[in-house]
Structure 1
Amino acid sequence: MGPVEAFTTAWKKSFTYGGKATRAEYWWFYLVNLIAILGVYVLTGIPAGNISVDIVSSLFIIYALASVFPNLSIGVRRLRDIGKKWTWIFISFVPFIGGIWFIILMCQPSGKYETGQASNM
């Protein structure tokens, strides 16, 4: 799956928490989404013609808030793909080590376990 296909698939499945997302699908979406957010952020600093900075800043906030849904759903589907329950998404709230642990989970190979049979790591 390529970057554009992963990005559009994640947005289409924004409210679909069932199924699985491969490692490539997750990371391609993450990269393209990061580039999109940085692109909109850069536009907030460039006043372009008649477009006010407030409008562009509003677009940045709207996009950042809207991207929460595909980020959450692809994270849950990625966890299902590695055999973890959806509640593992909350590991990222643990101070200091939680974010690192979540990244390690997202880097695990696909299909290692069936859902519900995973080790409790």
Structure 2
Amino acid sequence: MEWYIEALSKYADFSGRSRRREYWYFHLFNLIISIILFGMSVSLVNVTGIAVLGFLYFLYSLFIFIPSLALIVRRLHDTGRSGWWFLIFLVPIIGAIILLIFTVTDSNEGDNKYGASPKLY
């Protein structure tokens, strides 16, 4: 949970670097929260017919969009790539695979043009 909160504390910080651990734990907790909210909204709609929690899921998705984008840019910086590489995701299938490879790649050793290595602290 610490990595999720750390990513949220850097809400719109597109500079610097983020470790793989921060990136993947953020997405793990984001997935868990999304599944819970979506499941609750589906079950509540089935019981009451009112989509209140569906609206909460939508708000959560909007809230988490900018931190997710900032985190992927910082993760790409950690591998020595420009943050604009996230646009490769727009290429169907191949773009998602390339982006996945970039995010699982280990950090550059030491400092790079995007800052100090986050592994050092």
Please indicate the TM-score interval, normalised by the length of the shorter structure. 0.7 to 0.9
Q: Which 4+ runs in 1 deviate beyond 3 A?
A: none
1:77 equivalent to 2:93? Answer no
CA distance in 1: counterparts of 2:2 and 2:69, whole angstroms = 18
Measured at CA, do residues 52 and 9 of structure 1 come closer, stay the same or move farther in structure 2, by a change above 3 Å? farther
Greater fraction of residues in helix? 2
1:90 equivalent to 2:87? Answer yes
**Unmatched runs of 5 consecutive residues or more in structure 2:** 115-121
CA distance in 2: counterparts of 1:43 and 1:14, whole angstroms = 26
Contact (CA 8 Å) 1:84, 1:115: kept in 2 or not?
A: no
1:18 matched residue in structure 2? 15
CA distance in 1: counterparts of 2:50 and 2:107, whole angstroms = 43
1:35 matched residue in structure 2? 32
Paired residues in the alignment total 112
2:113 matched residue in structure 1? 115
2:59 matched residue in structure 1? 62
**Unmatched runs of 5 consecutive residues or more in structure 1:** 117-121
CA distance in 1: counterparts of 2:11 and 2:31, whole angstroms = 17
Contact (CA 8 Å) 1:6, 1:29: kept in 2 or not?
A: yes
